[in-house]
Amino acid sequence: MIVDRVLVQGGGIGGLVAATALARRGVEVDVVERRLAGSVLGVGLNQPSNALRAMEEIGVLDDCLAAGYQWDDLRMISADGTVLAEIPPPPAPGLPARNNGIQRRELCRVLLDAAAKAGARLYHDATTAALRDDDDGVEVTFTGRDTPAPGRYDLVAGFDGIRSAARRYLFGDRYEPRLTGFSVWRISLPRPPELDGVVYAFAGNVKATLIPLSADDSYIALVAPEESVQQKTTPSRIAAQMRAMLQEFGGWIGGLAKHISQENSAAHGPIEQVTLDEPWYRGRVLIGGDAAHATSPHMAQGAAMAAEDAVVLAQELERATSVAEALDAWWKRRIPRAGLVQDYSAELMRQEQGKASSGRPEAAGTSDPGRARSPCPAVLNRAGPGVHPRMIDEDD
């Protein structure tokens, strides 16, 4: 291994997968996370087959499946509750499941345990105060309640989310999140008996996505246009908005409105995108996950892309002869794949709102010749989670 000591900034999905993958290879890893221990952002998510392969890579696949809900067919439902289509997911050779819905708190528990067991040290309510990198390493100081001692690392990996401090360190304000004109309302609910796999439903300009997370729990997300960002939104207001939006639906989906209250973890936020048009690293500092390529949720691939970034980073650091060689190979493997997901997600948002296809996805342009820029056919409107099932250890 060409690195002995790595700092991971961000203790979310990508950061914890990176910490585990590196620590399992004998690297000394510190993780700093600005949030308090036990605080988890988000409600739930789906793990398509490529995410499950990343979990297998770090030894937690069985734990994720035990904590989640496995499903096969995706259903498309009309506003009145009529089933329009049932779509099987792509094959997932060698995996015991093709999709797994899971509560974020459960996934966080699994990943925290894995990182700790692998030997990574985790510090909550902590973040970097200053970085100073040179050809041989990065000097880091910290701020917060529980922090590592100031020290020198061979590499700093920023998996610190869409408002990444590591990204600002590398690039200033050039790649701040861009509003897409859409927002998402999320809430957790008891799982209705009709929900045994992911469901997409449309009523007017509202798209509902429902995901089973366990035998008892489920997750609903409503996506709709919203040109201006709401300020100081309260849980009670979010719940009221969701009840009003669900009134557009009939059948059992419309009936979920009566179960929504502010106590159900109601959350709301704009859908934003981050697109870099240059390598995701400089020297010995890099960014991955949402910090480098935040996307809309329409491909159910955001967490999967972060996990893949982390696993592939560890692979390249293990087989390269220098840090520069490893990071160049890592970025070149990841940019076409992350770009493809981002582009198709943007195009799906357009198509679902009845907007004409741009012929070329709406994600911001890039000067990188490796960035995927294929037109997105309308048939992708029928694609569901897991449409990118290729092995994560394949060179893209």
Check if the beta carbon of residue 69 is closer than 8 Å to that of residue 195: no
Collapse the DSSP code of 321 into the 3-class scheme (helix H, G, I; strand E, B; otherwise coil) and give the result: coil
CA proximity to 7, closest of 160, 155, 163, 166: 155
Neighbours of 241 (CB within 10 A): 19
- Closest among 252, 237, 197, 21 to 114, alpha carbons compared: 21
395 pairs with which residues across the strands?
none
User: Does the CA dihedral 202-206-210-216 come out positive or negative?
Assistant: negative
Q: What is the pTM of this model?
A: 0.90
DSSP conformation class of 361: -
Q: What CATH number belongs to 5-71+97-176+273-382?
A: 3.50.50.60
Q: Domain limits of the chain?
A: 5-71+97-176+273-382, 180-272
Q: pLDDT of 252-263, one tens digit each?
A: 999 999 999 866
Kindly write down the DSSP assignment for every residue of 170-236, as one continuous string: HHTTTT--EEEEEEEEEEEEEPPTT-SS-EEEEETTEEEEEEE-SSSEEEEEEEEE-SS--SS--HH
Among candidate residues 393, 380, 291, 378, the one with its CA nearest the CA of residue 337 = 393
In this prediction, residues 59-72 reach a mean pLDDT of 97
Helix (H) or strand (E) holding 376: none
- Please tell me the distance from the alpha carbon of residue 73 to that of residue 163, in angstroms, as a whole number: 35
From 292, 343, 306, select the one nearest 104 (Cα to Cα). Answer: 306
Bridge partner list, 186: 221, 267
Q: How many CB atoms lie within 10 A of CB 74?
A: 22
Q: Which residue, among 159, 175, 124, has the nearest Cα to 303 in the 3D structure?
A: 159
pLDDT one-digit tens code per residue, 356-379: 555 443 333 333 434 332 333 322
Does pLDDT of 173 surpass 50? Answer: yes
Q: Is the pLDDT of residue 186 over 60?
A: yes
166 confidence band (pLDDT: 50, 70, 90): very high
More confident call, 40 vs 280? 280
180-272 under CATH 3.30.9.30, yes or no = yes
Summarised one tens digit per residue, pLDDT across range 201-240 is 999 999 999 999 999 999 999 999 997 888 878 888 999 9
Taking the alpha carbons at both ends of the chain, their separation in whole angstroms is 23
- What integer is the mean pLDDT of 101-109? 95
pLDDT of 374: 32
Q: 3-state class of 322 per DSSP? A: coil
Mean pLDDT of 48-65: 97
Mean pLDDT, the chain, integer: 88
Phi, psi of 122 (to 5 degrees): -115, 135
pLDDT at 379: 27
Average pLDDT over residues 108-133: 97
C-alpha angle 68/71/73, rounded to 5°?
155
